[in-house]
Structure formats: structure tokens, C-alpha cells
Structure 1
Amino acid sequence: MDFLFNQNVQFYLAAYLLGGIPFGLILAKLFAGVNITDAGSGSIGATNVLRVVKETNPALAKKLGAATLALDAFKGIAVVLAAKYFGMSDSVQWLVAVLAVVGHCFSPYMWFEGGKGVATGMGVMAVMLPIPTAIALVVWGVAAKTIRISSLSSMLGLLGLIIASFVLYPSMFHAPVLFIAFILFYKHIPNFVRLFKGEEKRVV
């Protein structure tokens, strides 16, 4: 068990465990009395919190959706900033970022189920790649306003981030970025299926 006293390992465990906190599930249960995993898309993310709670309390739904989005992003930001503060190497910081996203998408508190990972992914990327993340947020914002389909808007934003990272940092080791992108894409497969069937709901 000596490896648990290794600082890198401690950061990896903290990233996974903090990333796995299902804030959307907690907030919806605590303030709206609903289990969002049993309603809507079943996701623990901000979009499903907004969609499910809106059915009974539209004003509360906006607040809980915004809080979920902020907290999911913050947990990604927090663990990477902590790794930077303690002088961890770039490779350790990237693994911390990856594990925070993995924790959210495959939460240890939910029998390894979880959310789509977009907010947490954007949180870690905001610290590691701020300019590509800003570009991604612009792409996401435009898509969200015009298409109004959350999953598609998120994936277009993710694509914008990947392209921007390759253009702006061509010599960077992109494996962690691509791995996070793969996880987010994988978690959105059910959304793509519904999209092709014409069943994916718009955000209104």
C-alpha cells in the first residue's frame, strides 16, 4: 500500500473521486425531489437536470441546471489547478485531467455509470488549453443558439477544440486530448442514435 503515499497517485485518486461526484443527481434530489437518472435522458448533466426539473418548476430548473454546469466544470478546473499549484509535471497534469473526466463519466458512486462529461471536460481543458477551449465555447454557443440540440452542439464544440489544438499547438502531444474526446464521443452514442432517428429533443 506504499504506493498510496506517492503524491502522483494521490492526485490521480483525488481527480477520479472528485470527478465522480454526481452534482446534477445530488442537486435535483436535494432541491427538486427527483431522481434524474430515472427521467429524461437519464443523464446526470445540466441539460437533463434542466429538462426534468422544468416539468414541475421552470424557475428552479434554470438555477439547478446552471449550478450543475458550474460545479461539473469546477471539479475539473479544481483538480488540474491543484496539480499545477503543487508543481506536477505536464504529463501528470494531463493524466489528472483525463481521470477527472473518467470519474464523471464512470462514477465510482454510481456503479461506474455517469454523465456525458462535457462540462468537466471543458473545465480541465480550460486550464490545460485555454485558447482552444475559448474557441470551442464560441462554437458551442453559436450551435446551441441555432441548432438547439445540446448533444450536437457539444460535439461541434468538441470538434472545434480538437481542430484548434492541432492548429495552435501542432507539436503538442495530443493523445490526452483525443482520449478525452473519445470518452465524450462514446458517452454521446445514445444521443447520436436518437438524432438519426429524429428523436433527439431540442432545448427550449
Structure 2
Amino acid sequence: MDFFTNPNILFYIAAYLIGSIPFGLLLAKTFAGVDIKSAGSKSIGATNVLRVVKETNPSLAKKLGAATVILDALKGTLVILFAMSMGMSESTLWAIAVLAVLGHCYSIYLGLEGGKGVATGLGVYIAIVPIPTLIGAAVWIICAKVLKISSVSSLLGLTAVVVSAVLMYDGLNIGSNAPLYIIAFIIFYKHIPNIIRVIKGEEKRVI
């Protein structure tokens, strides 16, 4: 019974379950009546929400895309902020961060399928390493404006977060950069199909 009353374990479970909530799928179904799991890239993220809903309702697509980014980020941020308020250790916070991203990318509600993890990764990073995350967000926005390729912009922004955090923090205050790298690896791994399409010159632009 101690297992289910251990605050660390409870936070780990909550992080994964909350991270697993597919907000993009729910928003698109509720407000646009479309199933993004069977259209576009079949991802549950904001880019696919924008792409699929835009076909029938461009103005709604922008709103739902923005809402998806915000909610996907918040499901990582809020759990960590609550854990912080409860005095959880730095190592526990990073474990929560990894599990929230895993939940989004491998959702228990979708048969362990999910999104690419960018917004949720942004959400957990901003709570623990805010300055590097703001640097990464700026890189993301600039690249998105210039390149207009969501996947490339996201990965460049992610790389900027990781590099900045490594330079600014000494082992993330836990003696290791491993959690930072694990989250980045998960997100890069989920983007392998996008990376292949970029190499082939087939990756679609977001207009």
C-alpha cells in the first residue's frame, strides 16, 4: 500500500496520465467534427489540427491549433508547478517531466500512440529551465517564420533549449543532464518520419 501513497509515485502516475490526454484530437472532434487521427499526418499535435481543420474552416483551424499548443504545454507545466509547490526534489521534477512527454507521445488513451511531444516538452522545460526554454522558443518562432516547416523549426528550437540548458546549468542541479537528453531524444525519435521527408524534400510547409 505504501506504493500508492508515496507522493513521488502519485506524481509520476499523474504526469503520465495527464500527459496522455490528446487535446488536439478532442478539440478537433468537438469543435470541428473531424478525426485528426485519420487525416493529414494522423498526429494529435497542433500542426495536424491546423492542417486538417484548415481544409474546411481556416479561421477555426488557427484557434484550435493555438489552443492545442497551449493545452499540450500546460499539461506538462501544471503538474510540475504543483509538484514544486509540494516541495518535490529536482530529480523528481525531471522524472515528472519525462513521464509527461512520454504520456503525450505514447498515450495510454490511444493505445500507446500519440503526438510528437514538442508542446509538452516546451511545457515541462519552461517550468524547470525557463531561460533556455525562452531562447529555444525564440529560435522556434524565428525558424517557423523563415522556413515555414513546422518539424524543422521545432527541432531547431529544441536543440537551442538543450544547448542553452547545458551551458547555463551544471548538471541540471541533479548531477546529470540525462533527463534533458531523454526528453530531446523522445521528441527527435518521434520526428524520424519528418526528418526523412525533409531529407527527401517532401516535408510539407505550413502556410
TM beyond 0.5: yes
Does 1:87 find its partner at 2:87?
Answer: yes
Q: Which residue of structure 2 aligns with residue 182 of structure 1?
A: 185
Residue 128 (structure 2) aligns with: 128
Question: What do residues 36-84 of structure 1 show as CA deviations (whole Å, max 9, x unaligned)?
Answer: 0111111100010000000000011011001101000010100100110
Match of 1:198 among 195, 201, 206: 201
Q: Distance in 2 between matches of 1:57 and 1:171?
A: 46
CA RMSD across the alignment: 0.8
User: Which amino acid counterpart does residue 156 of structure 1 have in structure 2?
Assistant: L
Tell me the amino acid that sits aligned with residue 129 of structure 1.
V
Q: What is aligned with 1:96?
A: 96
Of 168-177 and 78-87, more deviation after overlay is shown by 168-177
1:1-204 paired onto structure 2 within 5 Å: 1-172=1-172, 173-204=176-207
How far did residue 169 of structure 1 move?
Answer: 1.4
Could you say if the C-alpha distance between residues 170 and 88 of structure 1 is closer, same or farther in structure 2, counting changes exceeding 3 Å? closer
Partner secondary structure for residue 88 of structure 1: coil
Amino acid aligned to 2:75? K
Query: Match of 2:125, as an amino acid?
Result: M
Q: Using the TM superposition, give the Cα deviation of residue 162 of structure 1 relative to its aligned residue in structure 2, in angstroms.
A: 1.0
**Aligned equivalents of 2:167, 2:141: Cα separation in 1:** 21
If the length of structure 2 is used for normalisation, what is the TM-score? Answer: 0.97
Letter in 1 for 2:104: H
User: Offset at 1:171?
Assistant: 4.0
Deviations along 1:83-106, whole A, 9 cap, x unmatched? 101000001111001100000000
Residue identity opposite 2:136 in structure 1: A
* CA offset digits 1:121-173 (Å, max 9, x no partner): 00000010000001001111110000010000000001101110111114432
